[in-house]
Structure 1
Amino acid sequence: MGQFGLWLLLATLSTGAFAQTRAWLDRERINAGETVTLNVETTGSLGNSPDFAPLRGDFVLSASSSNSEMVPGKNGLAVRSQFSVLLQPRRSGRIAIPALQVGTERTQPLALEVSGEPANAPQGAGGDVFIESEADDLSPYVQQAVGWVVRLYSAVPLLAGKIDQPVPEGASLMRVGDDAQYSRDVAGRRYTVVERRFLLVPERSGALSVPAALFEGRSAPGFIDQIMGGSGDELRARARPRSLNVQALPADAPQPWLPLHDLSLRYRSTPQELRVGSAATLVVEATVDGANAAQLPELQLPPIDGVQVFPEPVQTDDGFSDGRPRVKLTRKFSLVPSRTGPTRLDGLRMDWWDVAGGKPRSSALPPLSWTIAPAGGAPASAPAVAAGTATALADALPGGVAANAAGAPLSAAPAGGISSVWALAALLFAALWLATLVWALHLRSHPASLLPKPAAEATADASAAVKRVPVNVPALRQMIDLADFDHIATVLRSLAHPPAADDDALVERLADPAQREAVQALRRARWGGGDGVAARAQLRQAFAQGPSWREVEQTAASPLPPLYPPRAPS
């Protein structure tokens, strides 16, 4: 029963089983004479620093740095460390950055494109400080994500300073990520460049004027200035104002409107077979050029006949390359068949607008087909038994769900996954199955229990049988650490006997004041802008030994026969 309980809880949570160590470049393409920063992030021991020795053949390494912080992990607090090193290429062309060893893990390999020609000198080159700004597309569409980059060039050390990019009228402007810092040779001088990235989204068509970016700061005092008590020179720089020509929404644009440079889909992994009652894993990946994660529709699978789909939260990897945003979305789905026989998954499809080609396009995954096998050693008629049990559950489910439980397979879920109501139905079905198994084993070992009993005594025995079903505490702790807040609330409500109808009922049913307050913190994190990290820690501590329930009063059945016979369902 413990293994089944673990599967039951893990069916509705996110395991987050993705790499804990990653590497990335602050830019993927640079010009001759420039440097690039390589970052490596790892979660683990403080002693796990990356081995940069394989890079020395193609790069000159300098200005290495590191920092660490404590973050919530699967088993409590963990150490997350980030290491950075400045790379100056020894040659031009495509340079492969190999996988780097970090403790017992390795990073993914990367690639850097180095142009053989230096970049054109910007306006203002030759001065101590100057600033420029540019867009990746001068003729974007309405609601297209435009990469906006502001670069500050400084040939002298800076003591303090501020970069300001005013927001244009008729568009939104949002800063993206951290500033990138590198070196560049311009007009015979060596400059330190601070590059700040923004996401510019036009809200209406027509001319869009973007105000000039500004810099105000102070240079570090030289040796003579320090002796004379000076504090450095005041520095100011102003970029040229820019103007964009925003195009209107095309007449043949697909809906939802999704203007992009490119979109590709692929299966990261697919199950080789499906078996009734067993969970199989399917992972989908979308790579998008020209948007961030917040602008994209959710990755959802089409419905699969005879299969329940449990989606996990989307994993996002946002970046900024070639002057515009890019993102990689990865989502894992658990597929749980409820019947035998053939089934088919129609490929996921996403329609979008090609901003470079000016035409609608579509990206799709190929369809997949399986023949669902019976459960291990189970006869092919097992789905019919399951359907009969679902019918018996009809009276215990809410109205709309009861009708479906009696007349349709549980896999008839809406596109893209299973709703919280169906998750509750699955949990009820599993709880009833477990209780029935315990009862059957009890009868087999205690034949005397087959004798008739008073109705009130039988009700008490049934209640005790339900209470004897244990809660898998390790799985519950893992769910609190990894699942999203909606899943946590759904599972906690379903662990009550009978299940709590809503969060208010859940709070009333809990006997421990600390657990009731933890559920309230969970509600604030879900709906009221509360602290999610603190709520998760509070839940972890309060439910460390499992939930503590108040006793639910049982109404004793009358020993007298009913005045009228029960009415048959119509």
Structure 2
Amino acid sequence: MRRTRRLHPSGVLLLAAALLLMAALPAAAATRAWLDRDRIHLGETATLNVETDRAAGGAPDWSPLEQDFDAGGHTSTRRVQVVDGEVRTQVLYAVALRPRREGELTVPALDVDGERTQPLVLTVLPPDDTPDQAGEVAFVEAELETGQAWVQQSVGYILRLHYATPLVSGELEQPQPEGAALRRMGDDVTYSRDIGGRRYNVVERRFLLVPERSGTLEIPAARFRGRGTGGFFDDMFGSGPRILRANGQPQRLQVRSMPDQAPQPWLPLRSLQARFLEAPQQARVGEAVDVVLELRADGAAASQMPELELEVGDGAQLFPEPAQVREQFDGGRPQVVVTRRFSIVPRRSGTLAVTARPVEWWDARAGIARTAAAAPLAIQVEGAAAAPAAGPGSPDAGPGERWMKVPGVQGEVRPWAVAAAAFALLWLATLIWALHRRPPSSKDAPAPEAGRSLRTNDTARAKLRHLKLMLDTGDLGEVEHALCALAEPPVADLDSLAAQLGDPAQRAALEQLQRARWADGDPVSARSALRAAFAKGPRWAGAGTGKGAAEPLPPLYPRQ
């Protein structure tokens, strides 16, 4: 019989106290809204996302959107997870917004089961120029931020795949150029667009292009290969899905060399701004105050940004935290925002001068060197605070007892409290080490191979249970993700999964799911086919199928 170890009562109390402290942390916002793009052209759509943990209240009230937008393409995704023994459900609602006019439009606040989202702003530009390939069933459009750049300057590059028929599958490829680094930024953005009276679905993919040498840089043309749903006569005569091919146009960029008078390190940008986000006016000797510095660059990659530093002299101690870097794509260009928090502990009274180290950069548009620096701070530091007097609620507080300011904790903390907390954490670590120091006896320990087999089967069972749940309650996208997760390691799409399956019925069920998602297939029939095909789990190509082989997993839908 396996022996169980029990924690000492003091350990239980300590763990309970830790859980109470964790429960006291502030909770994140339960309902929020955001746009996938905040700048579009008239005739295009932007996706409004609303995420909430109020799953029982139903979808948001979309009626306030009717004043300036046509809303359609409603979708919802449900996610269930268990955190510390508590089941949490989050629902993500998405709707495509098509503006009715140009200008700065406000996406109004929406009601979600008694909670309200924050209003958002969407910039709607005049209709874009009609692409030369408009009218084709599918075409690829490429756009460079600019036709001229400096060597090692970050340039925005955008690919847009337009298709006027539902896709069954497809792949968009962008070959790497010679003499430059090209990498993707963020996830693909999908929307719809009216061109010449025809509705196109658009997949927009953003890239960061950094030329490595001067001269003419040529970016090879992008290629798309895919399968689209056939028309009425294609289905009647058994032609099936049509093959789609589309090639973009190569792009050229004139790259200028680094000028002799350029500052080092070389940092070519469109603009650079530095400022203090948090700047206290007063402080006390021995008490920490926080200062937050921000650096915002237009036309840069995160790897190009310099380290943010402050100078306070010998009148204070400086404790910097790690910098927070955020990359984004706005107006067709890469942008970077870097913020860093510093804790400053003054050593003496008077005026404390805080200056940010200036950053030299090259103005890519004007062709001149510039310097960015935040305005210096002057913090008035008063003498040390008087020791707290003993009150009725603190009889042990002596007149000479001091308090400490701990960064990240509101209010002051006594030194003995910090020492006690550190001792408690050290004692807990020692207790856990002692409990796991002795290895289990050979009688209780499973063989290594058996342990790995059990863990593999447990994981596979969990994946099958998740697939059954998605087939019963999830949408088709969630069903596809659950199917792709059956493989080990998980695959990216259904075509890759079908290549690993050895059962023709399971491959046919996957094809039926693809038609239900991207063409005119029947979702109900697709779910039924998947339930029947995967009732006993996936059958991988090359796996043994003898009748004498034991079933490694229980069936997905056991017989009654």
TM-score grouping bracket, smaller chain normalisation: 0.5 to 0.7
In the other structure, the counterpart of 1:164 is 173
- For 1:471 and 1:508, locate their aligned partners in 2 and report how far apart those are by CA, in whole Å: 14
CA distance in 2, matches of 1:208, 1:261: 20
For residues 173-184 of structure 1, what are the structure 2 equivalents within 5 Å? Answer: 173-184=182-193
User: Against the structure 1 CA distance between its residues 511 and 159, is the aligned structure 2 distance closer, same or farther, given a 3 Å change threshold?
Assistant: closer
> Hey, what's the Cα distance between the residues in 1 that align with 2:68 and 2:130?
26
Q: Deviations over 1:87-113 (max 9, x none)?
A: 111111222334556789876654322
Instruction: Give CA deviations for 1:418-465 in whole Å, capped at 9, x if unaligned.
Output: xxxxx9xxxxxxx9x958xx9xxxxxxxxxxxxxxxxxxxxxxxxxxx
Output aligned runs, 1:202-213, within 5 Å.
202-213=211-222
- Select 2:420's aligned residue among 470, 490, 510: 470
| 2:150 corresponds to 1:141 | yes
Ranges in structure 1 where 5+ consecutive residues have no aligned partner: 1-14, 380-422, 424-430, 439-467, 477-494, 497-506, 517-570
Cα displacement (A) at 1:295? 2.6
Pick aligned residue for 1:349 from 339, 352, 358: 358
Confirm or deny that 1:317 pairs with 2:326: yes
After TM superposition, the structure 1 = structure 2 runs for residues 7-406 of structure 1, keeping only pairs within 5 Å, are 23-40=33-50, 46=55, 52-67=62-77, 82-98=92-108, 109-116=119-126, 118-377=127-386
Counting only pairs closer than 5 Å after superposition, residues 443-458 of structure 1 correspond to structure 2 as: none
- Partners of 1:297 and 1:76 lie apart in 2 by 43
Q: In 2, are the aligned partners of 1:305 and 1:343 still within 8 Å (CA)?
A: no
Q: What TM-score does the superposition give when structure 1 sets the normalisation length? A: 0.60
Amino acid aligned to 1:470: A
Q: Helix, strand or coil: the match of 1:121?
A: coil
Structure 1 residues 469, 168: CA separation in 2 closer, same or farther (over 3 Å shift)? closer
Q: How far does residue 147 in structure 1 lie from its aligned partner after superposition? A: 0.8
Q: What is the distance in 2 between the residues matched to 1:53 and 1:473?
A: 57
- CA gap 1:330/1:18 in 2 versus in 1, 3 angstroms: farther
State the 1:344 CA deviation. Answer: 0.7
Residues 353, 234 of structure 1: alpha-carbon distance in 2 compared, 3 angstrom cutoff: same
Give distance in 2, aligned partners of 1:268 and 1:228. Answer: 66
Give the superposition deviation at 1:195: 0.9
Q: Is contact 2:281–2:378 with CA below 8 Å preserved after alignment?
A: no
The CA deviation string for residues 384-436 of structure 1, in whole angstroms up to 9 with x for no partner, is xxxxxxxxxxxxxxxxxxxxxxxxxxxxxxxxxxxxxxx9xxxxxxx9x958x
Distance 1:341 1:362, change over 3 A: same
2:314 is paired with a residue of what secondary structure? coil
- Rounded Cα–Cα distance in structure 2 between residues aligned with 1:310 and 1:78: 37
Aligned-partner residue type, residue 39 of structure 1: N
Question: What's the secondary structure of 1:294's corresponding residue?
Answer: helix
Partners in 2 of 1:352 and 1:161 — Cα distance? 42
- Aligned partner of 1:456 in structure 2 is none
Counterpart AA for 2:165: V
> SS where residue 274 of structure 1 aligns?
strand
Instruction: Tell me: CA distance 1:89–1:434, structure 2 relative to 1, closer, same or farther (3 Å).
Output: closer
Residues 305 and 344, structure 1, Cα contact 8 Å, conserved in 2? no
2-side partners of 1:373 and 1:53: how far apart? 56
- 8 Å contact from structure 2 (residues 315, 347) kept in 1: yes
CA-CA distance at 1:47 after TM superposition: 5.9
Note closer, same or farther for the CA distance 1:269–1:159 as it changes in structure 2 (3 Å cut). Answer: same
Query: What is the rounded CA distance, in whole Å, between the counterparts of 1:99 and 1:336 in structure 2?
Result: 42
Q: 1:318, CA displacement in angstroms?
A: 2.6
Alignment partner of 1:366: what SS? coil
Distance 1:16 1:332 in 2: 20
| Corresponding residue SS for 1:286 | strand
Corresponding residue SS for 2:362: strand
> How many Å apart are 1:166 and its aligned residue?
0.1
> Structure 2 counterpart of 1:255, which letter?
Q
1:50 is displaced (CA, Å) by 6.0
What is the alpha-carbon distance in structure 2 between the residues aligned to residue 372 and residue 241 of structure 1?
61
For 1:77 and 1:296, how far apart are their aligned partners in 2? 41
Query: Match for 2:36: what amino acid?
Result: D
Q: CA distance change for structure 1 residues 50 and 163 in 2, over 3 Å: closer, same or farther?
A: same
Counterpart code for 2:262: A
What SS does structure 2 have at the residue aligned with 1:470? helix
TM-aligned CA deviation for residue 78 of structure 1: 7.0
Please, which runs of 5 or more residues in structure 2 have no aligned partner? 1-24, 389-406, 408-412, 439-560
Bigger relative CO (Cα 8 Å, ≥ 6 apart): 1
Instruction: Tell whether the 8 Å contact from 1:150 to 1:195 is kept in structure 2 after alignment.
Output: yes
Counterpart of 2:370 in structure 1: which amino acid?
R
Whole-angstrom distance in 2 between the partners of 1:69 and 1:515: 38
2: CA distance between counterparts of 1:311 and 1:39? 36
